[in-house]
Structure 1
Amino acid sequence: MNPALLPLAVALPITGAVAAPLLSRLSSRASLIASLIALVGPAALLATFAPAVYGGRLSGHALGNVGPVRGAELGITFTAEPFGLTFALLTATIGSVLLLYSLSELGGLASHEAGWYACLTQLLLAAMIGTALTADLLNLFVWFEVAALASYGLAGFFLERPWALEATFKMMILTNLAGFCVFVAVALLYSGHGALNLGQLERSLSGGVRTADVVALGLLLTGFGTKAGLMPFHGWLADAHTAAPGPISALFSGLMVNLGVVAIARLTLDVYTAGRTVLPAILMVLGAASAILGAALALAQDDLKRLLAYDTISQVGVLLTAVGAGTMRAVTGLVYHLVDHALFKALLFLCAGAIVHATGMTRLSQMGGLARHRPIVTGAFLVATASIAGVPPLNGYASLGLIHDSLRAEHPVAFGAVLVAQGLTVAALGRAAYLAFFRRRDDDYDPLERMRPGMLIAFGTLALGCIAFGVLPNLVVSHIAAPAAAVLLDPNAYATIALAGSTRLTLTVQSFDYFAPDELLISGACLVAGLLLAFWYVRRSKEPIVVTGLRRLHNGSVNDYVAYSALGLIGCTFILLAWRR
C-alpha cells in the first residue's frame, strides 16, 4: 500500500473531465464511455488499499512531498483511513453505475451536451473523492467549491426548462453563502492557529478553544450543513433534486449530500472533539428536527422526485443524530447507514428518473398502473422502499438498528424522533408506491420504449447492493463500519496520519444481533404504523393543518430560504458561545 498513489483517485476523474468535451467531437457516447473508464480506475485503485486500511494500517501522504516542518504541516495531506476510504470507494463505485445508467437513458444527447454532462459529472465525483481523502481544511473548502460549481451546471442541465434555471439560481445563492461561511471559518482558524491541517488543528485546539474558534465552528456547521441539506439550511435541496436529470438527482441525493455529513462528522469527532463544545447536542436537535419534518414534508408531496428529495433531508437528520450521539455503536451505525443511504436513495431516484423519462409525468396524481408496464422499475422501487423503511433482510434494517441501539438508553428523545421519522418515511414511500404503481389508471399510457441494458444493470447492481448489505450485516460491521468508526473516535490516530505519518488503529469488536426481539418489534411497528398512515392519507381529501403549515414555510422564495439559513447560523453560533461562557 503506497499512499503516494492516493492523488490518482482524484486526478483520473479530473483528467476524464478534461477529455470528455474533446471526445464528444467523435460521438456522444465516446465521452460517456471514457468517463466510465476514468471512474472505474479510481475504484480499482482505492480497492487495493482496502485490505490494509480496514485491517488497521493507516497512513498519510503529503502532496509534492511537502511534509511537516517542526510539527507544522505546510502542504496538503491525503490520508488512507477507513472512514474516508469508505466514502471515496462508495463515490467511485456508485458514480460508475450512474454513468453507466446515463449511457442508456441519456445516450441520445447531442454530442456537445453529452461531453459537458460527462465533464461536470466527473468533476463532481472528483470533488467528493477529494473531500473523503483530504486532511486539510482549505483543501476541503476547495473541493466544496468544485462540487458546487459542477452541481450548478448539472442541476440546470436542461436549460429549456424554466424551473431548472430557477432551481439552479436558488442552489447558487444558498451554497455560495455556505461556501463563504466555510471560507471565513478557514480564515479565523488559520489566523489563530497558523494551521490548516486537520491533525495540527486538533492538537492546537486541545490547548483551548478561543471565541473565534467557536464562531468558526458555527460557520462550518452552516456551510457543511447546507451541503448536507440539514434543516434549516435545506432550502435549495428539493428544487435542485427535482429539476436535475434522473441520474444526477441520484448522484445529488445518494452521494453529494453525504459530502456535508462526512465533513461535519470529521470536524465534530476528529477536530472539535466531543465534550469540548455543545456541538453534539446541537447536531442531535437539528438531526431530530430534520428527520421528522423532512419525512412529514415528503408525505405531503405530489411530485415524486420532490417527495424523494424531502426524504433525503429526513435521512440526513437520522445520520446527524448518530454523529451527535458520538458513541462507538452510534458512529458504526452512521457509517453503515451512510453506505445504505447511497444505495437505496440512488436506486429510488433512478426509478423516478426512469418513470419521468418513459412517461413524461412527474406527479403521482397523474400516474397509476405502472406495475404492469414497468415491472422491473416496480420491483426496484419496492426493494429500495423496504430498505429505507428498515424491513429485514434489507440493508436499512441493520444500520437503523445500530442507530436505535445507540440512542435508546442515553438519548430517548432523539430515539423517539428517529422512530417517528421512520414511520413517516414508510407512509410517504408506501403512498408513492401505491399511487404510481398499483392504483388503477383509467387511461392507458402511450407505448413505452424498452429499457436499455445499462439501465437494467444499474437497477440490478443497486438492488443487489441493498440486499447484500442487509443479509451480511456482521461482515459489513466488522470489516467496514467498525474500523471507520474507530478512526473517527480516535483523534490522535487521525492527527498522526494527517501530519503525513503512519500508525496502527486499535480495532474494537462490534456486531449486530439480526434476530434481537426489540429491533424486530420496532421494525414491524414502524412498518405497520407507516402503512396505516399511508392508507389514511390516501383516503383523506384534505391534508392535516400541520402539514399545510410546513408547506407554507416552503413557498419557493429564495429570500425566505436565506433567512432560514441566517437564523440557523445565528442560533447555532449563539448557543455555542453561550455554552462556552
Structure 2
Amino acid sequence: MTPTTLASLTPLPVVVPLAGAVLSPLLARWSLRLPVIVSVATTAASAAILCLFVPTVLHGKVVSHYFGHWGPSHGSVLGIAFAVDAWGLIFALTTSVVGAVLLLYTLSELGHLGPRELGGYAGLFQLLLAALVAAGLTADIFNLFVWFEVAGLASYGLTGFFLERPIAVEAAFKILVLTTIAGFLILVGIALLYAEHGALGFGALRHSLAVQVSSSDRIALGLLVAGFATKAGLMPFHGWLPDAHTAAPGPVSALFSGLMVNLGLLAIVRLLYQVFPLHATHGLGLLTCLGVVSALLGALLALAQDDLKRVLAYDTVSQMGVLAVGFGTGSPAGTAGATYHLLNHALFKSLLFLVAGAIVHRTGVTKLSQLGGLWRSTPSLTIAFIVGTLSIAGAPPFNGYVSLGLIHEGVATTGEHVVYGVMLLAQVLTIAALARAVWLGFLRPRQSAYENEAKARPGMLTALAALAALCLAFGVLGEAALSRLMAPAAAGLLHPHGYVKSLLAPPVARVSPVVVHWSYWERKELAIVVVTVLLGICLVPLYLRRDEPHAVTALRRLHSGSVNDYAAYLSLGAILVVAGFALR
C-alpha cells in the first residue's frame, strides 16, 4: 500500500463508529439486539483499519492526511489534519479493541432494555469511542477541543442513562458542570495561542513556538493543562470522577475509567512533548507534582471506600497520577513505561469495573460491607477480580509488572528520591485497597444467600476472559511489546521532529528511534514487588481493626459531594497550574 493511499485511510477509524452511532437508534426499530451487534462490528472494523497502519507506524514513521487536501502552503497551514504516530496509534487501537469487548459485555448486562433505550445507549457508546479515537489521531488543537466536547456530550448521556435513579442525574450534572468549566479553560488557552501565533495545527504551532515561548504562551499552556487534567481526573480536578463511575452502568464505568480519562492525559502529553519545546517550560515538573498528589491521595481514598465502584474510581485517580509521574520523568524508560501503563490501565481497570458490574447484576449489592462469599458462588468473577488486582499490583507475570518497573526506573534515573518513595507508598496503599476489596467482597464468609441471585451470562464471561487473557499476555510478552510498541511511541514523544515534519511536509516522515532496555528478571524490581505486595496485604487487617485515621477522615470530608465545592477545587487548581507556568 502506497503512503498516499494509507494516508487517505486515516479518517475511516473515526467515520465507521460515527456511522454506527447514527444507525444504532434506527436499527433498534427492527431488532432489539441489532444495534449492539452492529456496534461491536463497527468498533472492531475501526480496530482492523488501524491495524493497517501498524507495519508503517511502528517502524518509526508518521502518516498524516489533510482533510480536503488543504495541506501546508508556503509555511502556512489552514486545513485540519489527522496524523498517525505510534503514540496516537496505541491510544486509538486500545480504545477500539477494549471498546469492542465492552460492547460485547453490554449484550449480556443490558440486553433486557427496550429497543429505544438500547439503540440510544449503543449510539452514545459509539459516539464516545469515535471521539476518543479521533482525539488520538487529530493534529489540530481546536479539533482536539471539538472531540473533547463530543466525548463530554456522550458521557453526560451515558452517566445519566438511567434517569429514574437520582444518583445518575446528580452525577451527570456534576460531570456537565466540571467539564464545561474545563472546556472553557481549554478554549481560552486555544484563543491565546491563536492570537499569538495565528496557527492551530500542532506542526505549525511547534514551528512557531520553537522561535520563542512568551508569557502569554505559558499562560495558555497552563489553561490547557488544567482543562485536560479535569478530563484525566488528576487532583484537584477529579471531583466528577467517583460519582460518574459509581452511577453509570458497568460497561460505561469501564469505558470512563479505562479509556475516557486517558483522553486528558493524551492531550497533556501531546502539548508538553510535541507542541511546546521541553526546554522552554517546566511542564514536566508540574505534571510530576500533579501525579504525585493524585497517586498518593487517590490510593488513600480508595482504601477508605465502602462502595466497590468508588474503590475502583479513586484507584483510577491514583493510576492517572502514576501515569503522570511516568511521563513527567522525560526519560526513555519512564515515557515508554507510562505509555505501556496507559494500555495496561485500560485492560485491568476495564476488567475490574466489568466484574463490579457483573456483581451488581448478579446480587444487586455494591457495598463491600454487605458483600462476601462470592468466591463460592461465582469463582469466575473472583478469579477475574484477582487477576485485575495482581495486574495493578505489578505482580509478574501480569502486565503491570513491566510498565510499573519501567516507570520506577524512569523516576530513579531522574534522581527524584522523594518522588520515588511516594510512588512506592502509593503502590502499597493501592494494593491494600484492592486486597481489602478482595477479602470483604469475595473471600470473607457469608452466612446468608443473596436475594434474587442471577447467573453470569456468557457474554459477560467472554468479555472478562478476553481482558484477563490480555492482562496476562502483555505481561508474559512484556519485552517484545516494549521494543515493538512502546519504544517507538516514546521515540515519537522524545524526538517530535518527525511528527512535526509529517504535518508540514505530508504524508510520511520518519522518527528517530529510542532504545529502552528492560530485563524481566531484574532483581531490584522483583524485590520491590514482593515487599510492596506483602506490606499492602499486611496493612489490610490493621486498617480493618482500627478506627479510621484522622487524616483520612479529613480528606473524605473535603469530598462533600457538592458540585460547588468541586468547582471551587477545580478553579483553585487551575489558578495554581497557570501561576506555575506563568511565574517560571
Q: TM-score, normalised by structure 2?
A: 0.98
Quick check: 1:7 aligned with 2:11? yes
Distance in 2 (CA, whole Å) between partners of 1:506 and 1:206 is: 19
Quick check: 1:423 aligned with 2:428? yes
Distance in 2 (CA, whole Å) between partners of 1:65 and 1:48 is: 21
Instruction: Judge which range, 211-220 or 90-99, deviates more.
Output: 211-220
Report the residue type matching 2:460 in the other structure: M
Quick check: 1:535 aligned with 2:541? yes
Q: For 1:77, which of 70, 81, 86 is the aligned residue?
A: 81
Residue 524 of structure 2 is matched in structure 1 by 518
Residue 45 of structure 2 is matched in structure 1 by 41
Residue 211 of structure 1 is matched in structure 2 by 215
Distance in 1 (CA, whole Å) between partners of 2:28 and 2:517 is: 49
Q: For 2:358, which of 345, 354, 368 is the aligned residue?
A: 354
Distance in 1 (CA, whole Å) between partners of 2:544 and 2:303 is: 10
Q: Deviations over 1:167-211 (max 9, x none)?
A: 111100000000111111111111110100001101101111122
Quick check: 1:439 aligned with 2:447? no
Residue 465 of structure 1 is matched in structure 2 by 470
- Structure 2 counterparts to residues 170-209 of structure 1, below 5 A: 170-209=174-213
Q: Deviations over 1:306-358 (max 9, x none)?
A: 11000000000000011111111111001100000000000000000000111
Tell me how far 1:575 sits from its aligned partner.
1.7
Residue 330 of structure 2 is matched in structure 1 by 326
Distance in 2 (CA, whole Å) between partners of 1:141 and 1:20 is: 26
The answer to whether the 8 Å contact 2:332/2:515 transfers is no
Report the residue type matching 2:65 in the other structure: H
The answer to whether the 8 Å contact 1:274/1:326 transfers is no
Q: What is the DSSP-based 3-state SS (H/G/I as helix, E as strand, rest coil) of the residue aligned with 1:27? A: coil
Distance in 2 (CA, whole Å) between partners of 1:456 and 1:565 is: 39
Residue 484 of structure 1 is matched in structure 2 by 489
Distance in 2 (CA, whole Å) between partners of 1:455 and 1:177 is: 36
Q: Deviations over 1:112-137 (max 9, x none)?
A: 00000000000000000000000000
The answer to whether the 8 Å contact 1:218/1:573 transfers is yes
Residue 249 of structure 1 is matched in structure 2 by 253
Q: What is the DSSP-based 3-state SS (H/G/I as helix, E as strand, rest coil) of the residue aligned with 1:275? A: helix
Report the residue type matching 2:578 in the other structure: T
The answer to whether the 8 Å contact 1:497/1:503 transfers is yes
Quick check: 1:502 aligned with 2:502? no
Tell me how far 1:446 sits from its aligned partner.
3.0
The answer to whether the 8 Å contact 2:218/2:581 transfers is yes
- Structure 2 counterparts to residues 562-577 of structure 1, below 5 A: 562-577=567-582
Report the residue type matching 1:511 in the other structure: H
Distance in 2 (CA, whole Å) between partners of 1:451 and 1:391 is: 27
Distance in 2 (CA, whole Å) between partners of 1:299 and 1:312 is: 12
Q: Deviations over 1:439-477 (max 9, x none)?
A: 111211235332222111100110001000001111110
Residue 348 of structure 2 is matched in structure 1 by 344
Residue 110 of structure 1 is matched in structure 2 by 114
Report the residue type matching 1:566 in the other structure: S
Report the residue type matching 2:171 in the other structure: A
Instruction: Judge which range, 437-446 or 78-87, deviates more.
Output: 437-446
Residue 390 of structure 1 is matched in structure 2 by 394
Residue 295 of structure 2 is matched in structure 1 by 291
Tell me how far 1:78 sits from its aligned partner.
0.6
Distance in 2 (CA, whole Å) between partners of 1:245 and 1:217 is: 35
Q: What is the DSSP-based 3-state SS (H/G/I as helix, E as strand, rest coil) of the residue aligned with 1:434? A: helix
Residue 129 of structure 1 is matched in structure 2 by 133
Q: Deviations over 1:334-391 (max 9, x none)?
A: 1100000000000000000000111111100000000111110100000000000011
Distance in 2 (CA, whole Å) between partners of 1:218 and 1:374 is: 48
Distance in 1 (CA, whole Å) between partners of 2:514 and 2:173 is: 46
Report the residue type matching 1:6 in the other structure: T
Distance in 1 (CA, whole Å) between partners of 2:432 and 2:568 is: 30
Residue 156 of structure 2 is matched in structure 1 by 152
- Structure 2 counterparts to residues 219-298 of structure 1, below 5 A: 219-298=223-302
Distance in 2 (CA, whole Å) between partners of 1:273 and 1:360 is: 51
The answer to whether the 8 Å contact 2:7/2:507 transfers is no
Quick check: 1:63 aligned with 2:63? no
Residue 562 of structure 2 is matched in structure 1 by 557
Tell me how far 1:409 sits from its aligned partner.
3.7
Distance in 2 (CA, whole Å) between partners of 1:464 and 1:348 is: 13
The answer to whether the 8 Å contact 1:319/1:334 transfers is yes
The answer to whether the 8 Å contact 1:174/1:236 transfers is yes
Report the residue type matching 2:310 in the other structure: R
The answer to whether the 8 Å contact 2:131/2:151 transfers is yes
Report the residue type matching 1:232 in the other structure: P
Q: What is the DSSP-based 3-state SS (H/G/I as helix, E as strand, rest coil) of the residue aligned with 1:503? A: strand
Quick check: 1:414 aligned with 2:419? yes
Q: Deviations over 1:190-242 (max 9, x none)?
A: 11101000011011011111221111111101110000000010000000000
Could you tell me which runs of 5 or more consecutive residues in structure 1 were left unpaired when the two chains were aligned: none
Distance in 2 (CA, whole Å) between partners of 1:315 and 1:189 is: 31
Distance in 1 (CA, whole Å) between partners of 2:527 and 2:233 is: 31
Instruction: Judge which range, 177-186 or 296-305, deviates more.
Output: 177-186
Report the residue type matching 2:283 in the other structure: L
Distance in 2 (CA, whole Å) between partners of 1:558 and 1:326 is: 35
